[in-house]
Each structure stands twice: as C-alpha cells, then as structure tokens.
A and B are shown apart, each in its own frame.
Chain A
C-alpha cells in the first residue's frame, strides 16, 4: 500500500506533464531558430515556408513554458515533500533534486525576464532548449549516477509503499 498515494500520483503526473509540455516548447524553439535564421540569411527552404510565423511560434512557446513552469512547480513541490518524508532532513542534497530545482529556476528566470523586460526571440528559444536539455538529462541519465538517492543501484532508492 502506498504511504502517500495521492501525493505520489500527483508528483508523477505533474512531473511527466511538465516534461511533455517542455518537449513541445523545445520543438517550437527549434522551429523558431530555423525561421529566424532563414529570415536573417534571406534563404528559405520549402520546410521553412511551411512553418508558422515567428511571433506565433514565440507566443505559443511562451504559453507552453508558463504551463510547463506551473506543472513543474507542482511536481517539484510534491516531490520535495515525498523526499523529505523518505530521506529525512538532507532530502535537498540529492543531485536529481538539485537538478530539478535548477531546471525550475531556469524556467522561472526565463518567464520573469520575458515578463519584466519583454525579452523574447532567440534568447527565449535558446533558454527553452537549455531547460529541455536539463529536463531530458535528468530523466535519462541522473538515475544512473551512483551517488544520487534516485539511483537504481542506491540502497536509499525510494521503494514505493515502504516508509523508512
């Protein structure tokens, strides 16, 4: 039986949802960079012709990033709560935990700068791609590091249903 089944499901759902939306934003950012580069170089391929306008790509990316941020916030909060339950006082000293915080903070910074100064375009697209790469590396590689508590080989790896 799960110790905190609702919180666990909540954590899984929002973390996954944030990753999916972030992936979508990453694709939009790539398209943005492609259209932007074509407009600057004044050379257009038939693929670029089919892509939406820069402002459409940028606005959709902004909305997506806001949704990903909200979702990641819920995922990280619930994850932190679970980590504190399972791992005790030093729950925040885990690499994966810190990595998520960095991703969260990066997206927060992107949105804050976009909101305050209006910064957009290439910088926002590159920032989004960086956030996506952090998120992907967290999901794909961090679990294999021996010193993370999420590690598949670690004895401290969370076993759902077992509270230490």
Chain B
C-alpha cells in the first residue's frame, strides 16, 4: 500500500536554533545552484516530490517519501551537495515526519520559528520556494495541497491573532507613534537633526511612508549627502529654531554636550505654529532635549528609552500571541490528519462493510433454506439480528483502523 500524503510527508534541515551562522552559510542553497540541488535531491530513491526552502535563518527540504528509509539519504544529500563533512553537519540537522513535519512547515510559514517572531518576510520566502519547486517540476499532487494548507493556516493565524501587528523595532515603533498623532505620513514635514546612523534609519522609514524630509546637520557636506539620498532639503543646524515652526515631526540624532532645546525654545512656539501638534523624537545619547522640559499641549516627546519600552512590551505581547498561535497550529494539524484519515480510510471501510453484508446475507439464505416454517415477520427479525451482530463486530475493528497513526 502506498503512503498517504501526510504519511509520506517529511522535513529535513537546520535553522538558527540548531546551527551557528558559519554552518548555515555553508549549507544554504543559493538561487544559482538551485537547479543542481533539485536534480541531486530528486535523484535520490525513495522520494517522489520535494521543495527546498533556503533563507538566511534556515535550509530545509520538504519531501514526499515513498520509502521512509530515504530520510537518511536526504541527510546525506545535505553533506554531499555542499561537500561538507557529514559528521559535522549531522549534529545540526533535524528530521521530522508526518504530524511533526506538518507542524514544522506551519510554524515556519506563520513566522513562529523565525528569529524575530511574527516577521512578515518568511511567508513570502516560503511562497517563492514553493513556486520555484513547481517550476522545477518537483511538486506533485501530494505536496501541493500541503503547501496550500500551510499558506492558508499562516494567513489565518496572522489575521486571527494579530501576530506581527505591533512594532518590534525602534524605527517602526516611532513610525507607529507618529501615525497615532498624524494619521498619515503623506506630505508630513519631518526633520532629521544630525546625520547619525540610527537617525538615518528612522528617516528612511518616514521617507518610505511619504514624509517630506529636511536634514539639519553641523557638517554641510554630510548633511547635503544625506539630503540627496532622500531627495530632502538641507539646512544648517543653526536654523533649528526656525525650522521648528514648519516641522511636524523632528528626529534628533546627534551628539551634543549641551541640550539643543529647552523650555525657553518651546515657549510661544505652539502659538506661532497655530497649535499644530509637534512630535519630537530624541534618539541622541546624551539626550539633546532638556530632560526637565515641561509638558506643553500639542508637543509629544519620546526618547530612546520610551521607544525601547514600547518595543519590549510589543515583544512580550508577541510571545503571548505566539503561544496561542502554536495551539491553533496544533488544532489545524489535528484537523488535517483527521480529514486525511477519513478520506483514505473511507474506501477501505466501505469495502469491509460490503463484504460483511454479503457474507451475512449468504449465511442467512442458507439458514432460511433450512427454516422454511418461519413467517415473513420472523425472517425479518432474524435478518435484523444477523446484520446488527455483523455491524457490532465490525465497529470495534473500524475504530482500531481509524486510531492507527
């Protein structure tokens, strides 16, 4: 009897949890060598379909086995294909079969197995790997529905649990906060004070979301270079006070021994700005916004610690969500297994039942030949009894068949 899709489903690979970066680098499958990888993999005996997933955090092979002993060959494939010592690579590899392999695929696609739980890229990477395998002719009727289910489950869980909704990077947290004040970044006047590396990363996020950037820097050349990178305006740092009148959001990312803005700078500013809200983000160390600055209406001020606290809270929240998502994956896997069992066992069960029915009927005809004195009603009673006994005897065997892994 051939293996059903889930019975033959397996996964072999390594990831950021089982292998260090230098091993992962050597065992990856670059696009240029993918054709050869598929040729080598499909050349192995004992497997019929395959998909290779290679990202910076993992190299995994999902296969449809026709013979379970092929798992060892797939492990060997990792070392042979990469010309790597098998004894070294073996300790980093994991191999999963059936439910475990299915759980692994769903966990990866949902981004629960990523370094940054909930990151959105992995689902796209799994889809790309799936399309490539399809193009290579490595996917067939058994693996294809399994991957379709993985995409469905990943999408469903992300939507239902809100996994990936909250910001887990400082720049993204700042962007989300800004959107809580201004609703949209489109056409918003954002000023970047200082051309520090982190400030540039923030500026990139705001620029990508449609904000109009102005760079203020001490060094003119560096400021102009950064301004040209984001099609932004450049202003010397001395124009900061003047610039505060036009800006909606200001990111401070520069080194300064003394605060750049204090109470006196902001007094009367809001009146001149016609009370438009002003969002100040100070990611400089030491801070350039005086710590004792009072709260002015319409001015929102966040520093590195505030953003880090939001990110930490969101990370904790993601961990809680991930626990819930894992339970949902377990349910999905259990549902799929039940569905497949009923799909694959139904014809067999029907056949057994038919055999039992015809055997019972044969024996009944023999008996009725000897018991001619029975009335029609008595014959019906005997017939009912015989079929009930046959059904009860089969019930136990069918249940045992269904409970088999």
Q: Does B344 contact A (CB under 8 A)?
A: no
Residue A162 CB within 8 A of the other chain: no
27 contacts between A and B (CB under 8 A): A35-B180, A39-B177, A39-B181, A39-B300, A42-B302, A42-B306, A42-B310, A44-B310, A53-B180, A53-B181, A53-B183, A54-B180, A54-B183, A55-B181, A117-B271, A117-B274, A117-B275, A118-B273, A118-B274, A118-B276, A119-B275, A120-B276, A120-B298, A121-B275, A121-B277, A122-B298, A123-B297
Q: Is A40 within 8 A of B295, CB to CB?
A: yes
Cα-based distance from A123 to B271 in the complex (angstroms): 13
The proximity string for A residues 116-130 relative to B, scoring 1 for CB distances below 8 Å and 0 otherwise, is 011111110000000
In the complex, chain B residues 239-283 whose Cβ is within 8 Å of any chain A Cβ: 271, 273-277
Give the complex CA separation of A55 and B298 in angstroms: 11
- Kindly provide the distance from the CB of B385 to the nearest chain A CB, expressed in whole angstroms: 63
Q: Which of A42, A120, A121 has the most CB of B within 10 A?
A: A42
Q: How far is the CB of B318 from chain A (nearest CB, A)?
A: 14
A137 in the interface (beta carbon within 8 A):
no
Q: Within 8 Å CB of A39, what residues of B?
A: 177, 180-181, 300
Number of interface residues of B (CB under 8 A): 21
| Residue-wise interface mask of A (32-56) relative to B, using a CB-CB cutoff of 8 A (1 in contact, 0 not) | 0001000110101000000011111
Is B300 a contact of A55 with CB atoms below 8 Å? no
The number of A-B residue pairs with CB atoms under 8 Å apart is 48
B179 contacts the other chain (Cβ, under 8 Å)? yes
The minimal Cβ–Cβ distance linking B334 to chain A, given in whole angstroms, is 30
Could you list which residues of chain B lie within 8 angstroms of chain A, going by C-beta atoms?
Answer: 177, 179-184, 271, 273-277, 295, 297-298, 300, 302, 306, 309-310
| Cβ-defined contact, A120 with B275, below 8 A | yes
Given contacts A53-B182, A118-B275, 10 further A-B contacts (CB under 8 A): A40-B300, A42-B302, A42-B310, A44-B310, A52-B183, A53-B179, A55-B182, A55-B277, A118-B276, A120-B275
- The docked-state distance in angstroms from the alpha carbon of A40 to that of B296 is 10
Q: Residue of B at shortest CB range from A113?
A: B275
